[in-house]
Structure 1
Amino acid sequence: MGLILSAIGQSFPPKSKFSVNDIPDLAGQVIIVTGGYSGVGKETVKALLQHNAKVYIAGRSEEKAQEAIKDLQSQTGKEAEFLLLDLADLHSVKRAAEAFNKKETQLNVLFNNGGVMIPPIEQLTAQNYDLQFGTNVLGHFYFTTLLLPTLLATAAPGKPARVVNTSSLASEATHSINFNTVKDSPARKKVGASMLYAQSKFGNVVFSNELQRRYADQNVISVSLNPGNLKTELQRHIPGLMRKLTDLTLYPVPLGALTQLWAGTTDEGATLGGKYLIPWARVSKSDPAAKDPDAGKALWAWAEEQVANI
């Protein structure tokens, strides 16, 4: 019953009190948006450019990124930069962080926005992890930790560096991570793509909370959020009839950028470390299981072990 009520409350949110017009001037800030060339990511980049941030679009397709950069330049008069990043390949993640750090000495906000949703169960990452957990959780973990020295160097008392982690309402469909299912195995296939997606989104919240515990006292804050039910490319793997039914409850993409822009750009957002946010630009309560320090330590230790020899 609790999940049903939460789903209703998040699926039919009140009109937002926050708009992109409330974003302050971001001149001098350097920001990365993973998955920034489509959907919510592209809308996020657009708003950041409109408010004078220097923005890197991080993604695996340079062709799509350059198309987005050209389109956004025509709309905003500002040009984003491309950072080659394949979250499903840990070697690519490492190269992306190294390339960024060669160009920049500061990073004010990292939007961990990219991700995959319910792909065919056969699809795996380059290192044979479940594509959803490997991309949504492990890839972002590695990217974030590689960029932590730059985030820490940028952070200052009263002006924290921020990590904004895009999760989903689906995160509330599970309350634990079964590490036996995050690499290819019979157990993974038995769980199925939908619950593997929920597990990965739960993992986003667990990671965000653990990052907050570890670095908030050094002025790096972390928040997680449900961007809302949106008409994006994420739904491309949902079967026909189910997709048609899902479409009836979906909102325009620009609304999906509001919550993470609120968290990543505003003075109020700087106070939201450790919070779980819901549509549109509201604070909610995250699952107690996702806030469990033991769960956070377990995920962090597992992820560190996976990337130790990359």
Structure 2
Amino acid sequence: MPSSLSWILQWPWEVFPPRAKFGTGDIPDLTGRVALVTVRFSPLASCAGERESLWTGAEGCTGREHRTRQSDVQTNARVYLAARDPQKAATAIADLLHTTGKECRFLHLDLADLGSVRRAGEEFLREEKQLHLLFCNARGAMYVPMDQVTAQGYDMQFGTNVLGHAYLTMLLLPLLVETAAHSPAGAVRVVSDSSIYHTLAGRGGIRYDTLLDGPVRRKKLSTAAAYAQSKWANVVFAKELARRYGEKGVVSTSLNPGIIRTELLRHSAFHRAILNWSMFDADPEGALTQLYAGTSPATASAHGQYFIPLAREGVSRPDTYSEEAGRRLWEWIEQATAGVEA
């Protein structure tokens, strides 16, 4: 477990990273591999045909995610795009086809509805007998107004960023383990997007009494606190997944992709104005850390590792390494998703 000083000193290097030593040209051939990438399009976003509005005008579909999918298809992986808006997904798939000459497949997924997550998981299991790469990178719920909750009544930011992704991962775990049993070591990976904001979560990381909507949530939880605790939970879940399934061949990591120039901060003009001067473009820099964690031979045994921009190993907040915190979050997710009907 790192000291408090180590991750505090890391902050400047996350915000102002050195030039990356890893590039898209370093991705190995992924022929025969199957990848699933989650994105979350916003109904408020304009996708009127311009490439920029498509990739950065969506809630979670950034140039970073476009580059991830494009890199996967170019290296011959069979890629599924999991998103809630079929029309925007069709546009994205058409763009990738035009760019790469290869096609990825659409999987309908609304992370804010556990029923939709279950249907998506079941559909994928019907379609595929393998899954090598699961990129949980639809990080598009940030500073969401507190009157917005998921279909099951959970805080929108935690429900989208954590619960939806965790449930999808759990549904696909049997397939991930089976794939790992018949694949080279390090071939099966789950990459969970977090953020430098995980370091701003309150003491203990998660206030469990704020996760379901109600008086406590409205009184005790701000939009910033909700986002920070969801990103803390992403790191903790990734580490717990590594503890439980690392020996079965599933490499689970989390990362901070960097402060990227996207519409993620559309709910907070103040924070966008402050951070704009330190942001870097989503494509290609915003994808490098994710691609490094998911495809590089150098990260094939990086169980539980937290990566930072640009494509480097880092350390997360010390309390994210707690086995007790991981166990509690895992068990809470199991209880929250028990009995979900498609």
Contact 2:256 2:308 in 1 (8 A): yes
The one-letter amino acid of 1:301's match is: E
Q: 1:9 aligns with which of 13, 17, 39?
A: 13
Q: Residue type of the partner of 2:66?
A: K
Deviations, residues 147-173 of structure 1 (Å, cap 9, x unaligned): 001101110452441100000000011
Q: Is structure 2 residue 180 aligned with structure 1 residue 150?
A: no
Distance 1:15 1:187 in 2: 44
Partner of 1:45: 69
1:137 aligns with 2:179: no
Matches within 5 A, 1:60-139: 60-115=84-139, 116-139=141-164
Question: What is the DSSP-based 3-state SS (H/G/I as helix, E as strand, rest coil) of the residue aligned with 2:300?
Answer: helix
Distance 1:285 1:79 in 2: 36
Q: Residue 167 of structure 1 aligns with which residue?
A: 194
Q: What residue number does 2:306 align with? A: 276
After TM superposition, give the deviation of residue 4 of structure 1 in Å.
5.5
Name the structure 2 match of 1:286. 316
Name the residue aligned to 1:248: 277
SS of residue paired to 2:153: coil
Give the Cα–Cα distance (whole angstroms) in 2 for the partners of residues 5 and 191 of structure 1: 28
Partners in 1 of 2:265 and 2:257 — Cα distance? 14
Q: d(CA) in 2 for partners of 1:212 and 1:86?
A: 25
Structure 1 CA distance for aligned equivalents of residues 19 and 308 of structure 2: 12
Query: For residues 312 and 271 of structure 2, what CA distance do their matches in structure 1 show?
Result: 28
* Partner Cα distance (1:186, 1:160) in 2: 45
Cα distance in 1, alignment partners of residues 261 and 189 from structure 2: 27
Question: 1:59 maps to what in 2?
Answer: 83
Aligned partner of residue 254 in structure 2, secondary structure = strand
Give the Cα separation in 2 of the matches to 1:71 and 1:105: 27
* Separation of aligned partners in 1, 2:289 and 2:271: 26
Q: Secondary structure at the match of 1:221?
A: strand
2:231 matched to 1:204? no
Distance 1:4 1:210 in 2: 23
Contact 2:186/2:251, CA 8 A, preserved across alignment: no
Instruction: Give the conservation status (yes or no) of the 8 Å contact 2:20–2:311.
Output: yes
Moved more, 273-282 or 228-237: 228-237
Letter in 2 for 1:262: Y
Question: Quick one: structure 1 residues 4 and 293, their matched pair in 2 at CA, closer, same or farther if it must change by over 3 Å?
Answer: closer
Match for 1:41: what amino acid? E
Question: Which consecutive unaligned segments of at least 5 residues does structure 2 have?
Answer: 41-54, 56-60
Match of 2:295 among 257, 265, 270: 265
TM-score (ref. length: structure 1): 0.96
Q: Which amino acid aligns with 1:67?
A: T
| AA of the residue aligned to 1:220 | V
Q: CA deviation at 1:263?
A: 1.0
* CA displacement at 1:121 relative to structure 2: 1.1
Deviation larger for 186-195 or 129-138: 186-195
Q: Which moved more, 1:52-61 or 1:230-239?
A: 230-239
2:148 aligned counterpart, secondary structure: coil
Tell me, in whole angstroms, the C-alpha distance in 2 between the residues paired with 1:61 and 1:233: 17
Distance 1:232 1:269 in 2: 27
Distance 1:245 1:159 in 2: 39
- In 1, Cα distance between equivalents of 2:319 and 2:194: 15
Secondary structure of the residue that 2:165 maps to in structure 1?
Answer: helix
SS of the residue corresponding to residue 6 of structure 1 reads helix
- 1:188 shift after superposition: 2.0
Deviations 1:10-59 (A, max 9, x none): 00000000000000111110000001772122221011111111100101
CA distance in 2: counterparts of 1:248 and 1:4, whole angstroms: 21
- Any conservation in 1 of the 2:111–2:117 contact (CA below 8 Å)? yes
Query: Following the alignment from structure 2 to structure 1, what is the Cα–Cα distance between the partners of residues 278 and 80?
Result: 31
Give secondary structure in 1 for the equivalent of 2:169.
Answer: helix
Q: TM-score, normalised by structure 2?
A: 0.87
| 2-structure distance, mates of 1:146, 1:12 | 37
In structure 2, what is the Cα distance between the partners aligned to 1:70 and 1:91?
28
Identity of aligned residues (%): 47
